[in-house]
Chains A and B, each alone.
Chain A
């Protein structure tokens, strides 16, 4: 970058060419007023408070790049005058009642800027906009009277979240922010991501959980408040003394409001943010631009979905089964019983009679100790985690081809790719913040998007090319595209030659995967396949994202390998803006696997068959570790049926609803001799237990999570464990100690030190290096060097070369013809997993109360169904009863049932079967077929009319400040007004 020199307030400075003045001032920590600007969003140019005098002209610091020889005055009389004028216009729209305002927390931009500008009086009096406060939405409110019209909310909604709900109606008499075409917030297309509220620089948009709670005096009613504000203004001659009082109040809040960094638990994206609390009351969730993954972004669950932590259904004491009820017990009683029963089973039948199920929701430290408990204390390799139900096939496909079972790059790589292909995943609902980055790249930077899915979800709607293959046939079209690319000579020849093995055998394997074959099997057209190949060829970097639509099939591992093959053939590994991205579903799917809660792997993906690795653990643990793989979750249940597995210890997983073929799972769980469940709620699974142990959720403990990018992040304790609940690691330690093990961890940081000493990919990980917002992406070397982008120089095999997978297509299962409907299933945005946590949120339940079955318009016509009709779905495994929602998101004879149910009436897994992936046993949840029985024609629609899915978005580019400038009553402050700033 070229350096340029310029003069700032009479002093010579140097900056990199292209730097904006305000960015330079911020870098150098030179105080300068600004309200609407954000480094993430770029210049919005609505507030005008950053005016400078530049070579005699009034210009904005936010949108003016520094030029060689520029003379910039930031506080000349004219600059100051312009800044004050801008602030005056803002205060016409905003009443300063800071002391009694819930946003008076030291970080209010309007307050701080007014104070920095030493505003004493305003020339334009405050005027109301004569608009009602919009309180319609369950989670936040908009007060037009306090809105300064900076448009930060609109900018994030349009161009960062890209939900395209908010705009400013610049043409009405007094402009205001509107939702869609002027709907109430609740009835609009708003998906409750909360980003508008997070970036609002004042109190116009506020979380309802803050109102009347954040301040010492802010609970006051308006009829008392307004006279008081008037009185203060009467008594106090200028604003400086009002600011002084409000600052004292803000300082008092500082001592009461606790702000703790945590990492979200609602999906694998790994958003981090501060949680503001007053005692156990959550005031708000506040993401910041420091958050490495999400910056200011969140989704509805991360921003607002935490009611479960304070739910009265939380387990607060150990429970022991006695007769037909659970009886509360002391920790001492519970631990004694567990040690006695599990100890005697181990003694009588050996470690193999015990099974351990870890969680992809708990921390790495919790998971690591769970595998240590299994392998050291009970000498069993029967340890698995719930990634078995989702992501094991993706890991398998990647381990076979490129050597690491994880995303090959970061979300920045996804954002900067020329082409993103999403296969069998619904990221706007399953990985909302990650999806926003794709939507933004597409809207602002011309990224191309291909979506392959049965369901026309939001990303499919937005895609440049939507593919709707027949269920379970992705392998075929992906492989046919790879073959076509090679046949055309479009493959990355040098890359393949230098960095990839088995190309010749792969070419041979490809022979049958012609376009014609793919057309026949997958039901796509030749043109679609050729267009896909062409788009990959033309793109500067392709990222492929996939999810359960790929993995939950009988050959999900093969399809995952086919994805990796396609990336290898086109040279889309080891460079930025490219690679393989299996979207991890839970917050710590990646970490749970990293920690070796797997029957075939020790921590850090060291094979159980590797003598050297085992020897290292044997030395550390002081026991012999068998070189034989243990049992997977699925095999454990089979072993229970055979009477070989006597007892299970399960942590943080509602296996009874999450495993497929739920009726059968329930039956099997009831056959255990002894069953311990550790959870935060008395889940269906826990109801089968002999002992239930109360665990603490993430907000009540410390630890680390690994997100889908392989990024390790720390979470800090927001509040004390509820009742007698305890962090999972500490419970596991108590059990180990009861069993006579010499464990003495005082803090999870010590557990991480042990992990680092045993798992080479974690060698350089320590709590110190993960302090605050810092994060590391594994593999992490001893010196702390990490690898955001994998495979830059070599693949993770002894010879450094990738291996093209030679596995073949396995067609989906066939069912008797009476089961004529394909039953797709998965998540919806509002709820997490089976819904145990999010169904405790009143607001979420209000927006999306129940599950339903999505039926296509053609099938509805055919069967005489309407919104609200009641039907029964029947498979060979069970039946459920649901209301119908007619929607063109699904087509033909394909149905969709969301999975957030814990009810015997309508939980999806009562219908799914037991057959699993050929390599990893992950159940083929997506290959379910059912028949439909008509029960009742008329009924209430299961999706409330105020759910955003009904509303129409209102897309535009950003805030459209030029419409403000075009108003008759707008008098320019700046001499230069140019959209997007001076180029």
Chain B
């Protein structure tokens, strides 16, 4: 007998699983925006390589 149920159990995530989900979402964001990310890296790199007094 399959009684009707409307309860949906919320998944209980371990810390590790939560972290995995976060990492996964970051990877997805990276994969979706490769050009922007690469340009940002370039920009950061240039900032990094500048002489401090010229900033």
Contacts and interface: CB of A to CB of B under 8 A. Distances in A.
Interface of A: 319, 321-322, 324-328, 656, 666, 669-672, 675, 682, 684, 687-690
Interface stretch (B7-15, B18-26, B38-46, B47-55): B7-15
A826 B48 CA distance: 71
Contacts of A670: 1-4
B7 A324 contact: yes
| B-side interface mostly | loop
Contact of B11 (A327, A675, A684, A688): A327
A324 B5 contact: yes
Contact size range, B: 10 to 19
A138 B3 CA distance: 39
B6 interface: yes
Given A324-B3, A324-B5, A670-B2, 4 more contacts: A324-B7, A325-B7, A689-B2, A690-B2
Contact of B4 (A319, A322, A671, A684): A684
A326 B7 CA distance: 6
A689 B2 CA distance: 7
Contacts of A327: 8-9, 11
A666 B4 contact: yes
22 contacts: A322-B9, A324-B5, A324-B7, A325-B5, A326-B5, A326-B9, A327-B8, A328-B8, A328-B9, A328-B11, A656-B4, A666-B4, A669-B2, A670-B2, A670-B3, A670-B4, A671-B2, A675-B2, A682-B6, A682-B8, A684-B4, A689-B2
Contacts of B6: 682, 687
Interface of B: 1-9, 11
A682 B5 CA distance: 10
Contacts of A319: 8
A684 B4 CA distance: 8
Report which residue of B1, B5, B11 has the largest number of chain A beta carbons within 10 angstroms of its beta carbon: B5
B2 A672 contact: yes
B35 to A, nearest CB: 17
A675 B2 CA distance: 9
Contacts of B1: 670-671
Nearest to B8: A326
A333 to B, nearest CB: 12
A669 B3 CA distance: 9
A322 B11 CA distance: 13
A666 B5 CA distance: 12
A321 B3 CA distance: 10
A86 to B, nearest CB: 50
A968 B3 CA distance: 75
A688 B8 contact: no
A319 B4 CA distance: 14
Nearest to A326: B8
A687 B9 CA distance: 13
Nearest to B3: A670
Nearest to A673: B2
Can you list the 6 inter-chain pairs with the closest CB atoms, starting with the nearest?
Answer: A687-B4, A325-B7, A325-B9, A326-B8, A327-B9, A670-B2
Contact of A688 (B2, B7, B9): B2
Nearest to A669: B2
A670 B1 CA distance: 5
A682 B11 CA distance: 17
A810 B7 CA distance: 46
A325 B1 CA distance: 14
A322 B2 CA distance: 11
A325 B10 CA distance: 10
Nearest to B10: A328
A163 to B, nearest CB: 39
B9 to A, nearest CB: 4
Contacts of B5: 321, 324-326, 687
A667 B45 CA distance: 68
A322 B5 CA distance: 10
Nearest to A675: B2
A670 B2 CA distance: 4
A558 B5 CA distance: 41
B20 to A, nearest CB: 13
Nearest to B6: A687
A202 B41 CA distance: 46
A326 B3 CA distance: 12
Contacts of B11: 327-328
A690 B3 CA distance: 10
A321 B2 CA distance: 9
A979 B5 CA distance: 64
Contacts of B4: 656, 666, 670, 684, 687-688
Contacts of A321: 2, 5
A471 to B, nearest CB: 33
Contacts of B3: 324, 670
B6 to A, nearest CB: 5
A327 to B, nearest CB: 5
B32 to A, nearest CB: 12
A173 B5 CA distance: 63
A325 B8 contact: yes
Contacts of A682: 6, 8
Contacts of A666: 4
Contacts of A684: 4
Nearest to A320: B9
Nearest to A682: B6
Nearest to A685: B4
Contacts of A656: 4
Report which residue of B1, B2, B7 has the largest number of chain A beta carbons within 10 angstroms of its beta carbon: B2
A345 to B, nearest CB: 15
Contacts of A688: 2, 4
A284 B6 CA distance: 33
Report which residue of A326, A656, A669 has the largest number of chain B beta carbons within 10 angstroms of its beta carbon: A326
A332 to B, nearest CB: 15
A121 B8 CA distance: 64
A328 B12 CA distance: 11
Nearest to B4: A687
Contacts of B9: 322, 325-328
A325 B6 CA distance: 7
A689 B8 CA distance: 13
A327 B11 CA distance: 7
A767 to B, nearest CB: 28
A144 to B, nearest CB: 46
Nearest to A671: B1
Contacts of A669: 2
Contacts of A322: 9
A150 B6 CA distance: 53
Contacts of A325: 5, 7-9
Nearest to B7: A325
Contacts of A324: 3, 5, 7
